[in-house]
Amino acid sequence: MLLLAIDSSAGASLALIRSGNVPDAAPEVLHSAETQVPNAHAEWLAPAVTEALTEVGLRGEELDGVVVGAGPGPFTGLRVGLALAHGLAEGWDVPLHGVCSLDSLALRADDAGISGQFLATSDARRRELYWARYESAEWAPEVWSPGKSSEFSGPPQAGCRLVEGPFVGPAEELPDLPSVGAGLWLYPDQLTSAELAGAPADPAAWTPHAVELGRLAHGALTGELHGVLCAPRPLYLRDSDAKVPAQMKGRAG
């Protein structure tokens, strides 16, 4: 199975993921790339997809599907990735799958050896965070267990599952749990950093990445993970802010 994953919920990123040669082995990341430049998603993402395919020497028609981060994230940037993904999936005539972008951070935390309950956070602007609560523990096999598909031999097994979310709200209203993601550097006084001995970088600097979303979707599509895929539509979590103008209020018809 070959998948292209893209995400534009915080930075913008993409990954090409392929099933390993060994049955049940973890999928192989053929290519990954990202930009942190704000507001450059629209310019960066499409050329980066072309580059990725060229570099790996694959044609888009060989893909088994496109995976897109459904957010949550700032609306305009989020839509860039989703609109691109819709165009790509139509153009290649392949299925399009959504994955909650915060799941990327949960999988990274799980990879880094987190245990127990924790929060994945990202910047929602306007003094708020997007967040979701996850739990990493030993689970019966029917519970989704990102990143552990290679060890999927028998119950019970280690893994991570979504407890609740995603939500949007101010940092002070989040459950008091160890956290990863942008909430940590935005609100260091309100959030507690997760202790991660095996973390590749400071968890305060983590933003969602297509690599993990691709791995999760791969797990779901090969039947090893459950509850991962969602509709390829934006998880806005907020209304569109529009206000009914004063003149209209109280006016009949």
Partner 1 sequence: MAEPLVLGIETSCDETGVGIVRGTHLLANEVASSMEEHVRFGGVIPEIAARAHLESFTPTLRRALATAGVQLKDIDAIAVTAGPGLAGALMVGLSAAKGLALATGKPLYGINHLVAHVAVGLLEGGHQGTSRTERSTGTVESPVLAPNTAALLVSGGHTEILRVGSLTDDVELIGSTIDDAAGEAYDKTARLLGLGYPGGPAIDQAAKKGDPTAFRFPRGLTMPKFEGTAENPGKHRHNWSFSGLKTAVARAAEQFQAQGLAVPTADIAASFQEAVVDVLTSKAVRACQEHGLTSLLLGGGVAANSRLRELLAQRCATAGITLRVPPIPLCTDNGAMVAALGAQLVGAGAPASSLAIPADSSLQASRILI
Among 92, 152, 167, 187, binds partner 1 (CB under 8 A): 92
Q: How far is residue 144 CA from its own chain's centroid?
A: 15
Cβ contacts of 218 within 8 Å, gap of 6 or more = 1, 3, 17, 19, 27, 149
Among 24, 55, 62, 90, binds partner 1 (CB under 8 A): 90
CB of 210 to partner 1, least distance (A): 15
CB of 67 to partner 1, least distance (A): 14
Q: Does 60 bind partner 1 (CB under 8 A)?
A: yes
Q: Which stretch binds partner 1 (CB under 8 A): 22-30, 122-130, 208-216, 245-253?
A: 245-253
Nearer to partner 1, 25 or 231 (CB): 231
Among 87, 156, 170, 175, binds partner 1 (CB under 8 A): 87
User: Alpha-carbon distance 35 to 87, whole Å?
Assistant: 21
How many residues in the shown chain lie near partner 1 by CB under 8 A?
A: 40
CB of 64 to partner 1, least distance (A): 14
Q: Does 24 bind partner 1 (CB under 8 A)?
A: no
Question: Parallel, antiparallel, or unpaired: how do β-strands 12-18 and 2-7 relate?
Answer: antiparallel
Q: Does 95 bind partner 1 (CB under 8 A)?
A: no
Among 42, 58, 158, 163, binds partner 1 (CB under 8 A): 42
Nearer to partner 1, 22 or 248 (CB): 248
Q: DSSP letter string over 152-212?
A: TTSSSEEEEEEEEEEEEE-GGGS-SSEEEETHHHH-TTT-EE---TT-SS-GGG----HHH
* 116-123: strand order across its sheet: 157-169, 129-139, 116-123, 178-181, 192-193
CB of 85 to partner 1, least distance (A): 7
For residue 69, list its beta bridge partners. 99
Q: Does 170 bind partner 1 (CB under 8 A)?
A: no
CA–CA distances in Å: residue 123 to residues 16, 20, 58, 130, 184: 26, 34, 35, 6, 10
Q: Does 127 bind partner 1 (CB under 8 A)?
A: no
CB of 71 to partner 1, least distance (A): 12
Among 79, 108, 148, 218, binds partner 1 (CB under 8 A): 79
CB atoms within 10 A of CB 250: 6
User: Alpha-carbon distance 9 to 133, whole Å?
Assistant: 18
Q: Does 57 bind partner 1 (CB under 8 A)?
A: no
User: Alpha-carbon distance 104 to 213, whole Å?
Assistant: 6
Query: What phi, psi does 234 have (nearest 5°)?
Result: -65, 135
- Which residues are at the interface with partner 1 (CB under 8 A)? 42-47, 49-50, 60, 75-76, 79-93, 233-234, 236, 240-245, 247-248, 251-253
